[in-house]
Structure 1
């Protein structure tokens, strides 16, 4: 299917991680020009190489989303070289596991300051030109915890659900301007983050990590973890011209994991 986004420009946040990197490659295959951001130069360079393998081109920007100064400087540098960004893939790392209580104020501020505030701020910087052009795509990655809270991920569940309310509200605000705003909800996708959480659960419960993984897989109707590429293909579709009538939606890529209606 021709997605109609060849020649568009996309900014992919946390592009060095499993999901962000896969999305970058999927967009590159569609002929999208890429701006890639991550806190790790090495991870970012790995993604740039993957993009080049499929014939794409990418500019890379190293900065910490939790730093307002670094973020504004990097986005300013990027915009000074571009007419506009057409596609924004909002993606962040996750906070440490733990309950939803007993954290000091600074821990909550750190979670929201790295996962919520920068996403909203970067969107605000890019949105005016999208609206002026009459075309734009804003896709925000969350987790299955926004629909079915994940045990021992109190910080993540709380911060990510706020992005759902923001996205749904923003979708209505900019729909008449040709900009769509959607949420992607990954289930158990095989990434370094998933492996870390499985390992943390195994250590916490004094169990073998393989047993934890098998238990997790057993809860997924398709019987396996998802591949990052499967998630990325859905992101590319939501970024496409073909998805112009989808906005304000939460799209699950979870193999049937989430049982909520």
Structure 2
């Protein structure tokens, strides 16, 4: 399927690994010029080289913390215009809510709510004037099904979803869409960290925790980053212009509700 975005300029935040990298990969396969981002410059440059070889696409690497204004400046100025923005950032670590002090709360909200909003503010008017824009925010399944230990992450991402819900409706007339991807359990480093923490807490081998976690998912497996990236690429496609303000849950059926 031709996604109709060949030659578009895409910025994918926190894309040196995991789900962000998967999104960058699929957008490059679709013919986009892709700006990738990560804090470790050496690692990011290596990933950029790998993506160029895998996709044949034009990949631009911008190292830095996406929460910092100077990194945001560099991301936006790396391309002539931003047609596609994929907001992504690492979430707060698993932690009992009693251990979260004010500084940690401010940091979590800054990284997972304020930063993506700032990036949307930077690109939205240009998208509206050009009559094309696709914004995808990677949040979490915990937005719909909050999990103990991820309270700060859930709160910040729910705040982002609520904040941008009205914005999405205000720009839909200009073929600019804002949507949310809510990953459940995927085979990523963050997933591994969570499993390791649970294994240590329970005093069992991580393999036991992994098997138990997969057994609780109707699909009986963790998701693969490439299938997440494909979903992201479709939401960024020319064909997805009538989908906006939506939260797409990708969790193998783990969430038991219908809404």
TM-score when scaled to structure 2? 0.95
Contact 1:136 1:179 in 2 (8 A): yes
Change (3 A) 1:81 1:184: closer
Aligned-pair distance for 1:79?
3.8
- Residues 198-224 of structure 1 deviation map (CA, whole Å, 9 limit, x = unaligned): 001111222221111111101111111
- Residues 162-183 of structure 1 deviation map (CA, whole Å, 9 limit, x = unaligned): 1111231221121112100000
Match of 2:65 in 1: 64
Q: In the alignment, does 2:108 pair up with 1:111?
A: yes
Change (3 A) 1:40 1:245: same
**Equivalent residue in structure 2 for 1:232, among 229, 232, 251:** 229
Contact 1:12 1:34 in 2 (8 A): yes
TM-score when scaled to structure 1? 0.94
Match of 1:24 in 2: 24
Residues matched between the structures, number: 257
Match of 1:35 in 2: 35
Q: Equivalent residues in 2 for 1:69-108 (5 A)? A: 72-108=69-105
Distance 1:61 1:215 in 2: 39
Match of 2:56 in 1: 55
SS at match of 2:97: coil
Contact 1:25 1:51 in 2 (8 A): yes
- Residues 38-78 of structure 1 deviation map (CA, whole Å, 9 limit, x = unaligned): 112233223212321210111111111333xxxx2233344
Q: Equivalent residues in 2 for 1:128-139 (5 A)? A: 128-139=125-136
Contact 2:6 2:30 in 1 (8 A): yes
Contact 1:88 1:138 in 2 (8 A): yes
Q: In the alignment, does 2:199 pair up with 1:205?
A: no
Match of 2:185 in 1: 188
Change (3 A) 1:135 1:209: same
Q: In the alignment, does 2:153 pair up with 1:156?
A: yes
Match of 2:123 in 1: 126
Aligned-pair distance for 1:102?
4.3
Distance 1:86 1:66 in 2: 20
Distance 2:254 2:48 in 1: 32
Contact 1:10 1:33 in 2 (8 A): yes
Contact 1:17 1:43 in 2 (8 A): no
Contact 1:25 1:50 in 2 (8 A): no
- Where structure 2 has 5 or more consecutive residues not aligned to the other structure, the ranges are none
Contact 2:9 2:32 in 1 (8 A): yes
Distance 2:93 2:134 in 1: 30
